[in-house]
């Protein structure tokens, strides 16, 4: 499936432990990546790191909307947190 556009839920909901542009320590779950613009598009899209490039949208993670994606990814994050 294609990403919702705009979305950015995968740049907000999950914890990212790898370095991101302008966030060298990654980011906690539920915190916006600083590289998202006001429309939730990545301002570093061409330079986004491997961790971002490897996320593929699925119905399981993204549902039918940004709101679905934020909820589903947050639920997965909580369920897999050790």
Taking the C-alpha atoms of residue 59 and residue 46, their distance in angstroms, rounded to an integer, is 25
Taking the C-alpha atoms of residue 69 and residue 58, their distance in angstroms, rounded to an integer, is 9
Contacts with ligand SF4 by CB under 6 A: the residue count is 10
Taking the C-alpha atoms of residue 28 and residue 13, their distance in angstroms, rounded to an integer, is 9
Whether 7 contacts 67, CB under 8 Å: no
- Judged by CB under 6 A, the residue of 21, 26, 30, 57 near ligand SF4 is 21
- Judged by CB under 6 A, the residue of 33, 62, 72, 73 near ligand SF4 is 33
- Judged by CB under 6 A, the residue of 4, 7, 13, 35 near ligand SF4 is 35
Q: Which is nearer to ligand SF4, 20 or 62 (CB)?
A: 20
39-78 positions binding ligand SF4, by CB under 6 A:
42, 44, 48, 52
């Amino acid at each position: 499936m294609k990403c919702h556009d705009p979305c950015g839920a995968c740049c907000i909901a999950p914890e990212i432990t790898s370095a991101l542009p302008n966030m060298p320590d990654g980011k906690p779950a539920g915190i916006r990546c600083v590289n998202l613009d006001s429309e939730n598009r990545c301002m570093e899209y061409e330079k986004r790191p491997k961790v971002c490039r490897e996320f593929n949208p699925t119905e399981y993670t993204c549902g039918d909307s940004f709101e679905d994606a934020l909820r589903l990814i947050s639920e997965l994050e909580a369920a897999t947190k050790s």
